Chains A and B, each alone.
Chain A
Amino acid sequence: MTVALGTTGPCQALSALRAPGNLRVIDAPDDAGGTLLLRWELSANDVAAGAPGDSSVTGYEIQRAQSPDGPFVKVGEVPPRTGEARDAQGLRDGVGYYYRVAAVRGESQAPSAVCGPAVPTGQWFHRGRVNTLVAVLVLTGLILYFIEHARRGRPVFIRKIAGLDAVDEAVGRATEMGRKVLFIPGSQDMDNVQTLAGIAILGRVARQTAQYGATLDVPVARSMVMVACRETVKEAYLATGHPESYRDDLVHYLTDDQFGYAAAIDGIMVRERPATIFMQGLFYAEALILAETGNSVGAIQIAGTAEPSQLPFFVAACDYTLIGEELFAAGAYLSREPQQLGSLKGQDLGKAVILVLLVIGVVIQTTGLFDFAALFVVQ
C-alpha cells in the first residue's frame, strides 16, 4: 500500500452513499389541513457519533412532485440523525403529492424510493383534546344541572364570605363619614373575565351608594371598561330610584399605562381620602402600591383578584380579600339570584370531582401502576 508523504496512516475510501429506507408519508393528524408528515429509516451512512460504521451523511433533502415520475423539487432539508419532517409549503387539500427523501453527502445524493400519493386534509375533531372535551362536558353539565335545580326553588347553601358581607358596612361607613367610595375595577380590559367579575360587584356597590346617598368614584384604565361601568352604575342608580344622583363623570378614564394609573389613583386617595376602597379585578405590580396607599389614608379596603402573585399583597394590606374564586362568586353571592347561586354549586361539585381525581392520581402515580398524569396532557 502506498503511503502519501506527510500522512501518518493509510487513506480510507468512503463507502457508497446509501438511500434512506421505508419512506412513509401521511396526512398530519389533528390539523387544519395543508400539512403532510414524512417518516423514514435513516441511511446506513448515518450512524450515531461514536458508534461503529459510517456517519458521513450531512443531512436529508425532502423532494416533492405532483406525479411519481417527477419533476421533483426540493421543499426542505433536515439535519442528520433525523427521521421525520413536515411539509406545509403551499400544499392544497385534496391534491395528491409524491415524495422522496435523499441522503446528502457533499454534492452527492441518494434518493429513496418514491412514496405517494399522499393527500393533505383538515380534521373535524382534534383527537388530542378528548380529555378537555370530557372535562368541559362534565363541568358544564354539573353547572347547568344545579342552575336548573336552583331555578325550581330548591335552596342552595353558600358559605359566608366575610369580604362580601362587609360591603354594606363599608358603604355605610363612607356615608356616615361624608367621604366617597372609591371603586377600582382592575387595570385590564373587558377581554379579561376578572374585569367582568369586578363590574358585577360594582353594580351591587352602586346600588348601595345610590340608596345611602354616598358618593361613588370609579377611575378606570381602559375606555371600554369606562363604557361598561357607566352602563352598570347608571342602571343601578335608575333601579334604586335615584337617577338624579347619577352623573357620567362618576366613572372616568385616567390612563392605560400601569404605573400612570397607579400614580393617578394614589393621588385621588391622598387628596380626597375616601372612606372605603374596593379593588376588584385583575391587578399586577400596582396592587401593593394601591393597597398600601389606601391603608395609609385610613380607608376600609375590600380587595379581590384571581392573580395568585398579587393575593399575598392584598391579604397583607387590605381589611378583606376575596381570594381567587371568591371574586367570581361575588356577583352571585351579592345578588342571591337562584340561577347564579346554582352555578356556584355546580362549580363546587366540579372541585369535588377534581379532588377525587387528585387523590386517585397520587395513589396511582406513587404505586407506578400506569402514567395517570398522561391522561391530562392537552395537545
Chain B
Amino acid sequence: MKRRVPLILTAVVGITFVVQFFIPHKPFSGLQNLLTDWVQIIFAFAIWLGALNLMKLSGESLYRRKKRWPYATITIACFVATAVVGLFFSGGSRFQDPGTPFDWIYQNMYNPLSATMFAMLAFYVASASYRAFRARNREATLLLAAGVLVMLGRVPIGDRLTGFLPEGYRLADLADWIMNVPNKAGQRAIMIGIALGIVSTSLRLMLGIERSHLGGRE
C-alpha cells in the first residue's frame, strides 16, 4: 500500500498531464497552473523538514563536540539570528523591503558571499582548462586548437592579428563559425538524446517500472 498509492498517483497524474497538453477545453486548460501552485505550496511546507534536519544534525555535532562542531555552531547562530531578525525586527510582512535589518543581512552578508563563490569559478575554469587542454591525443589536440581559436576570436588581439584579412575570414569570424556550426550541432545532438531519455524515463516512472525514488522494488 505504501508504494502502491504513490505508483497509482504517478500514473494517473502523469497520463493526465500528457493528455491535457492536447485538450484546451476546461478543466484541462487550468490543470497545469493549478498543480504547479499545489507543488509550490507543498515545497514551501517541506522546507521545514530540511531546516529541522539541519538544526538537529548541527545541534548534535555541537553537543557531542564532533569534529565539525565549530561549523555547526556558526550554522546554528546564523540560522537563528537571521530568523529572529526577519521575524521580529524587520517590520513584519514587509521584512524584505529595502532598509530593513533583514535586507541589510541580505545585501551585506549573503550577496557578497554568493558573489565570492561565483567569482571563484573563474579560477576553477582556469585550472580545469589547464588540465583538459593538453595535447595528449588527437581529440585533446583538436579541443586545444578549437579552444585557442575561440578565445583569440573573442578578444581584441584576435582582431589585431587578422585585421588585414577580408571580412568573413578573420579570427572572430572563425570563432563564430566554430560556436555556431560544429559546437551547436553537437549540442543539438546531445539535446535530442536528452529529450528522448526524458520521455523514456518519464514513461518508466508512469508505468511503475522505475521505482527507485520510492525505495526500489517491493
Of residues 200 through 226 on chain A, the ones whose CB sits less than 8 Å from some CB of chain B are 200, 202-203, 220, 222-224, 226
- Asked whether A252 lies within 8 Å of B57 as measured between CB atoms, the reply is yes
- Asked whether A239 lies within 8 Å of B50 as measured between CB atoms, the reply is no
Alpha-carbon distance A291/B53, docked complex (angstroms):
26
Known: A133-B22, A190-B213, A200-B212. A308 touches B67 (CB 8 A): no
Contacts of A292 in B (CB 8 A): 124, 127-128
A231 within 8 Å of B (CB atoms): yes
- Asked whether B190 lies within 8 Å of A124 as measured between CB atoms, the reply is no
Number of A interface residues at 8 Å Cβ cutoff, please give it. Answer: 87
CB-CB nearest in chain A for B205 = A196
Partner of B196 from A285, A316, A350 at Cβ < 8 Å: A350
Alpha-carbon distance A136/B29, docked complex (angstroms):
19
B120 within 8 Å of A (CB atoms): yes
A254 within 8 Å of B (CB atoms): yes
B49 within 8 Å of A (CB atoms): yes
Of residues 339 through 372 on chain A, the ones whose CB sits less than 8 Å from some CB of chain B are 339-340, 343-344, 346-347, 350-351, 354
- Asked whether A236 lies within 8 Å of B216 as measured between CB atoms, the reply is yes
B114 within 8 Å of A (CB atoms): yes
Of residues 41 through 68 on chain B, the ones whose CB sits less than 8 Å from some CB of chain A are 42-43, 46-51, 53-54, 57, 67-68
B94 within 8 Å of A (CB atoms): no
Alpha-carbon distance A350/B18, docked complex (angstroms):
18
- Asked whether B200 lies within 8 Å of A125 as measured between CB atoms, the reply is no
Q: Which of A74-82, A110-118, A167-175, A321-329 contacts B (4 or more CB under 8 A)?
A: A321-329
- Asked whether A193 lies within 8 Å of B25 as measured between CB atoms, the reply is no
Alpha-carbon distance A189/B47, docked complex (angstroms):
11
Alpha-carbon distance A147/B204, docked complex (angstroms):
10
Partner of B193 from A129, A189, A200, A351 at Cβ < 8 Å: A351
- Asked whether A344 lies within 8 Å of B190 as measured between CB atoms, the reply is no
- Asked whether B25 lies within 8 Å of A33 as measured between CB atoms, the reply is yes
Flag B162-203 by CB within 8 Å of A: 1 or 0 each: 000000000000000000000000010011111011111111
Contacts of B212 in A (CB 8 A): 196, 199-200, 202-203, 232, 331
Partner of B198 from A223, A249, A328, A346 at Cβ < 8 Å: A328
Scoring B50, B114, B190 by chain A CB atoms within 10 A of each residue's CB, the highest score goes to B50
- Asked whether A31 lies within 8 Å of B24 as measured between CB atoms, the reply is yes
- Asked whether B49 lies within 8 Å of A191 as measured between CB atoms, the reply is no
Smallest CB–CB gap between B174 and chain A, Å?
Answer: 20
> Footprint of B on A, CB under 8 Å?
30-33, 122-126, 129, 132-133, 136, 139-140, 143-144, 147, 189-191, 193, 196-197, 199-200, 202-203, 220, 222-224, 226-228, 231-232, 234-236, 239, 249, 252-260, 262-263, 267, 271, 285-286, 288-289, 291-292, 295, 306, 308, 311, 313, 315-317, 323-325, 327-329, 331-332, 337, 339-340, 343-344, 346-347, 350-351, 354
> Footprint of A on B, CB under 8 Å?
18, 21-26, 28-30, 39, 42-43, 46-51, 53-54, 57, 67-68, 71, 113-114, 117-118, 120-121, 124-125, 127-129, 131-132, 187, 190-194, 196-205, 207, 209-210, 212-216
